[in-house]
Amino acid sequence: MKPAPFRMYAPHTVAQAVATLAALEAEGQHAKVLAGGQSLVPVLAMRLAEPGHLVDINGVAGLDAIDVSSAGVRVGALVRHAELLRHAEANRVQPLLSQALNLVAHATIRNRGTTVGSLAHADPSGEMTAVLVLTGGSVTAVSVRGEREIPAAEFFVGPLESSLAADELALSAFFPAAPAGAGTAFVEMARRHGDYALSGVGAVVIPGPSRDEGAPTISVSCGFLSVSETPLVLDLSDAWAAGEDSVMAVVRAAIDPQDDIHASADYRRHITGILAVRAIREALARVREEQAA
């Protein structure tokens, strides 16, 4: 469990970092960006990947900012999960951040692992990938060619595969603010506390204007993890209006979970329906708490 030889680069500026990445790309070299290292380092130690070059961005200035505005939360590439988790202002604007971050691994991993790094890793069982897609967020990437903003829906292209180019650095992620009056919740089920979820669901519910004089219309959307190749978001407004059984049926039909040693696809499909209902109920309860307050 010792990594194969690699060359290490320690740029101090974004310009140096992307220049290094560009030069390595031009030489046809395999390079990886090292931030928190919580996914990359074990992969290297087990020699499951043997990149010849690591570009360590931990010394790059200006990548550790959390910028909060009424529009949302921008998270720099070196912001650790733990910092974002305890950022009260960010979590007031978008409560899904802390609701999901609480379920990201363990405190020691959150202290080191970065939120943007976990997005770039593009693991469909990652909580923050689901949150980025559910909130309609984006990733800003930079290379020697300049900056570009990649919407979440286009960022994740497959399991462990993002649309970042080999010479691009994920500079920051943007999580839009929760809509006014919205309630959010994030629930998941894991074998042990902090493990990758067998299934997880984030929910955003927005009470709308009254339809007729009866019940108000409610917009319901859910983001899912561990049950599809890329993070999945479903609009469940109509299903919810038709009842919880309907939500479960729609969810179970839409997802595509896989068997693994921890759970069968059947079981994942079963619990994902239940978790979706529970997430929606919890988000609605938050709406009512808000309204009561």
Partner 1 sequence: MGQRYFGEPIRRTEDIRLTTGQGHYLDDIGAGQPVLEAAFLRSPHANARIRSIDIADALDVEGVRAIYLYEDLAGPVAEPLPVLIPHPALTAPRTPYALAKDRVHHVGQAVAMVVAENRYLAEDAAERIVVDYEVLPAVASLDMARAAERHAHDDVPDNISAHLLQTVGDLDAGFAKATHTLEFDLHVERSASTPLEGKGVYAKWDADDSSLRVYSSTQASTSVRAAIAAKLEIPLLKVEVIAPDVGGGFGVKIAHPWPEEIMVPFAAIRLGQPVKWAEDRREHFISASHERGQDHHVRVGFDDNGVVTALDVLFYHDNGAFTPYGIINPIITSTQLLGPYKPGAYRVDFYSMYTNTVQVTPYRGAGRPQGVFVMERTMDKIAQALGRDRAEVRAANFIQPDEFPYDQGLIFQDGRPLIYDSGNYPHQLTMLKDMIGWDSMGERRADAASRGKLLGVGMACYVEGTGVGPYEGAHVHIQTDGTVDVATGLTSQGQGHQTMLAQITADELGVPFEKIRVVTGDTRRFGYAVGTFASRTAVMSGSAVALAARAAKAKALRVAANALECNENDLEIVDGVVQMKGAPDTKIDLGTVAVLSNPLRYAFDKAAQAATQFQGVDDFDKPPVAEDDEPGLEGKDYYSPPRSTFASGMHAAVVEIDPETFDIHIDKYYVVHDCGRLVNPMIVAGQVHGGVAQGIGGALYEKMEYDEDGQLQNASFMDFLMPYVTEIPQKELGQLELGHQETPSPLNPIGVKGAGEAGVIPVSALIASAIEDAVGFPVDSMPISPNDLYRLHERFAAGELPHVERYAASPSAATRARRGAATRTKKSADTSS
Nearest distance from C-beta of residue 112 to partner 1, angstroms: 16
Strands (E), 178-271: 183-190, 197-210, 216-225, 232-235
Position 8 contacts partner 1 (CB under 8 A): no
Position 3 contacts partner 1 (CB under 8 A): yes
| Residues 205 and 182 sit within 8 Å (Cβ to Cβ) | yes
Part in contact with partner 1 (CB under 8 A); list of ranges 21-29, 119-127, 230-238, 269-277: 269-277
User: Which run of H or E residues covers position 31?
Assistant: strand 31-34
Q: Closer to partner 1 at the Cβ: 64 or 195?
A: 195
Chain CA centroid to CA 279, Å: 17
Residues 185-214: x where in contact with partner 1 by CB under 8 A, - otherwise, as a string: ----x-xxxxx--x----------------
Part in contact with partner 1 (CB under 8 A); list of ranges 152-160, 177-185, 236-244, 265-273: 265-273
Using DSSP bridges, classify how beta strands 31-34 and 53-56 pair: parallel, antiparallel or unpaired: parallel
Site for partner 1 in 105-124 (CB under 8 A): 106
Residues 81-110: x where in contact with partner 1 by CB under 8 A, - otherwise, as a string: -------------------------x----
Position 281 contacts partner 1 (CB under 8 A): no
Helix extents (H) in 27-149: 40-45, 81-85, 88-93, 96-101, 107-112, 115-121, 127-134
Nearest distance from C-beta of residue 14 to partner 1, angstroms: 31
Position 1 contacts partner 1 (CB under 8 A): yes
Dist CA 90 CA 25 (whole Å): 36
Cβ neighbour number for residue 2 with a 10 Å cutoff? 8
Q: Closer to partner 1 at the Cβ: 84 or 189?
A: 189
Q: Closer to partner 1 at the Cβ: 125 or 184?
A: 125
Dist CA 224 CA 124 (whole Å): 9
Dist CA 182 CA 173 (whole Å): 22
Site for partner 1 in 26-65 (CB under 8 A): 42, 46-47
Q: Closer to partner 1 at the Cβ: 190 or 254?
A: 190
Question: Which single residue is written with the structure tokens 């305890």?
Answer: 86
Nearest distance from C-beta of residue 255 to partner 1, angstroms: 16
Position 271 contacts partner 1 (CB under 8 A): yes
Q: Closer to partner 1 at the Cβ: 25 or 195?
A: 195
Query: C-alpha angle 260/184/107, rounded to 5°?
Result: 60
Q: Please list, residue by residue across 22-55, b when 16 or more beta carbons sit within 10 angstroms of its beta carbon and e when fewer do.
A: bebbeeeeebbbbbbbbbbeebbeeeeeebebbb
Q: Closer to partner 1 at the Cβ: 109 or 165?
A: 109
Query: Which token pair is 108?
Result: 């020691």
Dist CA 204 CA 235 (whole Å): 10
Q: Closer to partner 1 at the Cβ: 134 or 275?
A: 275
In 3D space, the residue among 206, 245, 243 whose CA is nearest the CA of residue 222 turns out to be 206
Which residues of the shown chain bind partner 1 in the complex (CB under 8 A)?
1-5, 42, 46-47, 106, 189, 191-195, 198, 261-264, 266-267, 270-271, 274-275
